[in-house]
Structure 1
Amino acid sequence: MGCFAFKSGKGRSKSQRAAGAKTPPSAAAAKSPPASDSSGGGQRSKASSCVSASTPSRSIQELSDERGALRLRVFDLDELRSATNGFSRALKVGEGGFGSVYRAFFRSAAGDRVVLAVKRLNQRSLQGHKQWLAEVQFLGVLEHPNLVKLIGYCAVDSDTDKQRLLVYEFMPNKTLDDHLFNRVHPPLSWRLRLQIMIGAARGLDYLHEGVPEVQVIYRDFKASNVLLDPEFKPKLSDFGLAREGPTEGKTHVSTAVVGTHGYAAPDYIETGHLTAKSDVWSFGVVLYEILTGRRSLERSRPAEEQKLLAWVRRHPPDSAGFRAIMDPRLGGRYPLAAAREVARLADRCLVKNPKERPAMRDVVDELERVLQMEPPHAAAR
């Protein structure tokens, strides 16, 4: 397996010099639209504000051109081939619409072995390049403990080869989806489920309100996009569908409806109007997934139980039958009062009117309060 020292990220790789690519890649240079879409009109009220604490003043592309060159390494394709043993199937750790993800082995400048993740674009993917570009631009700017760290990228545009790759920190504990729904893994404890959701909520809060120059709408929050580090701390991944939020004087961004079925907010699906509250809806869906241990849609269930949100509505938080929705893998080891509070919070995230959904900073506060309801002697997992 290829192990070697990192090359400097300040210059261009051989493949990029040959192709004439810029560092970092800009939307214009790549002949792809910028990360943001056109915005809808309308004045924002205080109650419906979905923008960052400071008025967004710069675009992700501008910030990426300024900061990405300093933060991201430019990898040569031969480096990544060597690090993944020729993109060996034995080193493949995941596969999605974008392409395949591989465990990769490098050597640091000090000679230590470093394990990273390499995502390779499926060249048959029509949307792949646009999503690759969005990941480079957003993750070249954004930095938070609950966002996956992008180390660098590789772009090849020769006459004989076109490649798009991304290099990330490696997350050995896979995803929240794996631990909730794959019986190969032991069940997550009640406390750890809450801690993971608190971290994910902090990541979304940072995107919505933590970057002074721009607001970011994640647009694809789901359990499979929540990666888990060695200590099971969560990090949001896959920023290919992320979009800049509305600018001053606008209430929303108008976009084509994309995302994952079962997680997209109904107001976004019906109108194409995207706001930060669209992410809040998706977060509410995943809150019910951690309560129930069920996916948002499961065709293998009886007809009346296939759609998670429709099923849990028949067992509201204050009802005598609420326990029926709780994940049996928890074995009853959870504070019932705390579980009811999480369900109430999920219901607030899932209200039809997006203006009435809580901001993610309020979601963080509420989940931290609920975590304190956990008996102090409970096991960590």
Structure 2
Amino acid sequence: MTDAAQVRQAVSAVADPELRRPLGELDMVREVSVDGDVARVAIALTIVGCPAADRIERDVRGAAASVPGIDAVEVEVGVMTPDERAALVARIRGPRRSAFDADSLTRVIAVTSGKGGVGKSTLTANLAVALAGRGLAVGLIDADVHGFSIPALLGLVDADGRPPQPTRLDDLMLPPVAFGVKAISIGMFLPPDAPAAVAWRGPMLHRTISQFLTDVHFGDLDVLLIDMPPGTGDVAISVGQLLPHAEVLVVTTPQTAAAEVAVRSGLVARQTGQRVIGVIENMAAFTLPDGSVLDLFGSGGGAAVAASLSTDAITAVPLLGSVPLSPALRTGGDTGVPVVVGAPSDSAATAIGLVADALIAGRRSLAGRSLPVRPD
């Protein structure tokens, strides 16, 4: 005879697709009983109308049915009480408000540029997906509040171009996931019938970035990428204040005029205590079908930015990659399928992959840092 404990063990191992933790760990499995070859399982979802309800019920049914001797499964779906949900949120959040404090093991990388139109957001989205594809746990914050584009670049939009709203557990928000990347953007909070535009000044911008860092549950991340707005304005200053330990990637094009402006974003990052770890040159020369090379935006901009930001041998800033102009890269941005997934053999995808490999190879050392562990 099949024991109810066997069914409970199987069902408890099912993961909540949003919280990414087993149902048993989340105290979502309630009564489990077995009557002959019929298993009855009661589970409690976190909220009413949970968007993952159908998937959870399906996975629970499948897990119970996989137990030898079970031929039929009945699933009863309920909802946690407010007190149970509050206790769960407190356990998930942990003792600290932010998971990205200076002693966190999460590597925070802000991707910035001096001016708009250099493809910074496209590179950030593809870099996030490339890192996730290499087995890292990756989060992505769209800090370009006025010009948010990350949801569309990751395909997190409906037929009308509207991003999904994050699931809320009280004051905790669960970011949507695309291509293995947990992403959050102000575009996910705009009312469906409102214009897709944000007109905010400094205090609102600062509050938004702060809430993204404290109220969004990314879980344990290896890397958190931040898609910064162009320039050196309010958001750059806020991120510098909130995350002074963050590392910075500077994006430029080969054009001399763009390179000169890009240097400024790196200098401002240093003024707030952040460290510039590299430069990415986008829209570089590409090879035409006849074999000729077209330097549409000139050449040398990336190397020039890296040289300008390299003050000495200790603070040398490398040119991590040069990403060529690519129709596939542009198409991937329009369709919401990043080129590193949709056309991995494309020259742009290859170049972005090399940047991802360089970032992994250059990860921060743990030497001299306190780790969040304690004796049992």
If the length of structure 1 is used for normalisation, what is the TM-score?
Answer: 0.29
Larger Rg: 2
If the length of structure 2 is used for normalisation, what is the TM-score?
Answer: 0.30
More RCO (CA 8 Å, sep 6+): 1
More strand by share: 2
